[in-house]
Structure 1
């Protein structure tokens, strides 16, 4: 049986013992009904995987003893999505959850000319990323960057593969055909109402390739999800 994974962001790499916080302890002991002697896993979100055994099954301060620490390499190539956050918070939260499960490593809230929501609740969104990381049994927590302007992302990006998905009637290549496996990649996903023509031209001038995500017009969060799936499909087997 697979061992459950719990989040331990403050665990030290050389730790011999560790005490879970109250929320994690309650979930481990009271909800999942683990008890003294049970083996579980801890993730610090920075690649460390700890195999531990419960030594005190206190539901408020569960204590464990570290048996093995394994350092997992960061996922390669790096997959990044810069996406305009929607006014409907639930939709973007859904996207963040699914993008994490799929394996996107960096998400950039993209501020465009038509972005409707620039302020984000970082603490809540981070908790969604953590939950999705644990559910999908990963040990690297995706990076949710601070909101960045379209201009900054376009001018400052140096990824070998750069794409912009837009709906303007211009010649575009399907993302699955344009993307090559094994290279760090970023894709720009626009807001409701799409990028402006000026933004598209700015991205193209900076070396971004125009791509399509399918035959139908997609909502912002759906476009992000499709892009995440297609990018993941190009990972080396």
Structure 2
């Protein structure tokens, strides 16, 4: 069944008109006709069932038949990552993180970051596509790129962890992430966080964690953090 994104849909509406892009895909590509079933998600916890009322390729009209409200998860997974120079790798991470289940993604500008600017439009489209593909009901929050220091200063230290590669004692994320209502994991750029950034985070009470024995790429480490939090959530 086709799943469409309907961010402006609200419970109680009897009908909904798909965007021109979604209409073209439904009618011209999938050849849906009148009476064909369609699923809708609003990204705010709402899932809807509908049928095609008018198979117009520019303004496909749907008749809504059912609504389900999905409660937000009680355990919130937040990953703050320094975007890679190759944006394709961040796009891959966002897609997979949404599929697995992440509530928030922040982007950090660190001392060793090779990417100093970031436009969210493309990443937001990828997040929406992954939302539809995976059947999720909540669209994750994607934050604008911010400097590391002010982000750390505003972080909730008790539930924030830094995954760095410097020598020193680190605890497995799975062992400490379950203690609170969620976790925020900081993932550095390709060259890792600087010693000064690590010291700043530790000075704020943010605890160092490890994601395993392997040295991971930035986007792989970020996804590993999401997977680990998902396992914690399931337990």
TM-score tier after normalising by the smaller chain length:
over 0.9
Shift of the 20–226 alpha-carbon distance from structure 1 to 2, 3 Å rule, reads same
SS at match of 2:234: coil
Partner residue of 2:30 out of 8, 20, 32: 32
SS at match of 1:188: strand
Q: Is the 8 A contact 2:157 2:206 kept in 1?
A: no
**CA deviation map 1:11-66 (0-9, x unaligned):** 24332111101111122222223221122111111111111111011122110011
Does 176-185 or 39-48 show the bigger shift? Answer: 176-185
Give, in whole Å, the separation in 1 of the partners of 2:8 and 2:82: 31
Q: Which has the higher helix share?
A: 2
SS at match of 1:179: helix
Give the structure 2 partner of residue 198 of structure 1. 196
Partner residue of 1:144 out of 142, 145, 153: 142
Give, in whole Å, the separation in 2 of the partners of 1:4 and 1:68: 15
Give, in whole Å, the separation in 2 of the partners of 1:167 and 1:156: 23
Give the structure 1 partner of residue 129 of structure 2. 131
* Contiguous gaps of at least 5 residues in structure 1: none
Give the structure 2 partner of residue 220 of structure 1. 218
Give the structure 1 partner of residue 20 of structure 2. 22
Partner residue of 1:81 out of 61, 72, 79: 79
**CA deviation map 1:137-184 (0-9, x unaligned):** 011111101112111221111264211000001111111222216622
Does 24-33 or 163-172 show the bigger shift? Answer: 24-33
Give, in whole Å, the separation in 2 of the partners of 1:118 and 1:28: 38
- TM-superposed CA distance for 1:111, in Å, is 1.1
Shift of the 56–159 alpha-carbon distance from structure 1 to 2, 3 Å rule, reads farther
Would you say 1:118 and 2:116 are equivalent positions? yes
**CA deviation map 1:109-142 (0-9, x unaligned):** 1111111113222211110000001000011111
TM-score (norm 1): 0.94
Give, in whole Å, the separation in 2 of the partners of 1:12 and 1:159: 36
Give the structure 2 partner of residue 169 of structure 1. 167
Q: How does 1:84-103 map to 2 (within 5 A)?
A: 84-103=82-101
Give the structure 2 partner of residue 62 of structure 1. 60
TM-score (norm 2): 0.95
**CA deviation map 1:78-102 (0-9, x unaligned):** 1100000011010111001011111
SS at match of 1:146: strand
Give, in whole Å, the separation in 1 of the partners of 2:30 and 2:172: 44
Give the structure 1 partner of residue 177 of structure 2. 179
Does 64-73 or 89-98 show the bigger shift? Answer: 64-73
Q: Is the 8 A contact 2:158 2:206 kept in 1?
A: no
**CA deviation map 1:179-219 (0-9, x unaligned):** 21662210000001100111111111112110111112111
